[in-house]
Amino acid sequence: MKKTIRKLAVLGTAVAATTAAQAGPLVGNNFPGKTFHDTSAIAGALAPLILAAGSGGEAGEGVGTGVDEDLAFHIGVGEIAGKMIAAAALYEQGQAAAAKGHLVRPSDDIYTALKPMLTEFNMPGFAAELTALADAIDQGAPADEVKSKLAALTAATQENGAPEAPRELALTIVHLVRNAGGDYANGVTDGKVTDAHEYQDAWGYVQAAKRLLGGAPDFMREEYGKEFEKISAYLDGLDSAWPDLTGEKPAGTESSVIAGTAARIELVSLRMD
């Protein structure tokens, strides 16, 4: 799909509260000639995702002052994938109740915010696959069935939400890792897991980033092989942060380490077009 960029600067929570309600376009001083189309249907729907991605989440480790709507869209798809990956993993471990707490359905805000972009680019979306996986977990389906439904969802998110440009893909990963750092900070206190849900979401976001990288087309890998290897190594380096998914064991790292990984991946992205 051919995408157009409509930049939305993230200027802080005061502006965030009024972004979708602006009566006319704004011209950004930091982006000469760029118009911030805050009144578009897509901008309004994606504003929460754009603002969360640009502000660095709860971790407070920003890697930029703004993201465009396309990038916010990819981040939103990645977050949904991450939550469902966490749900499926917990379910496989026999933690059905915990798994159900991570489920996303097409009626949830995080998916409905993506619909205007799906419509604009004539993409079918992945509501059916999302529902199928959520239903399978809700209804106590066999683990193999849940695994199959997750594979179908992963394929659908790649088809509908994977970035087409190498740098955009890398930056999507950057923001997923940043969000993981924010949730990790919320879920871990003094080395102990105090909010298992946040801790598990953080793991899911990193897994979604890994799957996004693994599903990248060959032309990206051929042109940026070294960069892909570096990003992969950085993501693998976070594995020890989650000694177990239930949160019963002490946390394996600090949120600042995850934020630092996001910053390293961002530096790698600067060498990609």
Domain ranges of the chain: 7-269
End-to-end CA distance of the chain: 17
Residue type at 273 in one-letter notation = D
pLDDT at residue number 179: 98
User: Residue 235 and residue 185: Cα distance in Å, rounded?
Assistant: 18
Q: How confident is the model at residue 49 (pLDDT cuts 50, 70, 90)?
A: low
pLDDT at residue number 48: 54
Tens of pLDDT, residue by residue over 58-76, are: 433 333 335 788 999 999 9
Mean pLDDT of 131-147: 98
Candidates 66, 74, 80; CA nearest to 16 is 66
Q: Which of 2-6, 130-134, 210-214, 236-240 has the lowest mean pLDDT?
A: 2-6
Distances (CA, A) of 255 to 41, 81, 202: 35, 21, 10
> Is pLDDT at 29 greater than 50 in this prediction?
no
> Is pLDDT at 239 greater than 60 in this prediction?
yes
pLDDT at residue number 184: 98
Chain-wide mean pLDDT for the chain? 82
> Contact at 8 Å (CB) between 34 and 7?
yes
Higher-confidence position of 27 and 2:
2
Name 13's Cβ contacts closer than 8 Å, sequence gap at least 6. Answer: 55
Helix (H, G, I), strand (E, B) or coil at 193: strand
> Contact at 8 Å (CB) between 10 and 65?
yes
User: Residue 59 and residue 61: Cα distance in Å, rounded?
Assistant: 5
Mean pLDDT of 27-39: 28
Higher-confidence position of 45 and 201:
201
Mean pLDDT of 151-160: 96
pLDDT at residue number 121: 86
User: Residue 241 and residue 232: Cα distance in Å, rounded?
Assistant: 16
Name 6's Cβ contacts closer than 8 Å, sequence gap at least 6. Answer: 35, 36, 37, 40, 42, 43, 68, 69
Q: What is the pTM of this model?
A: 0.81
User: Residue 189 and residue 121: Cα distance in Å, rounded?
Assistant: 43
Tokens representing residue 266 in the block: 């961002």
Mean pLDDT of 162-184: 97
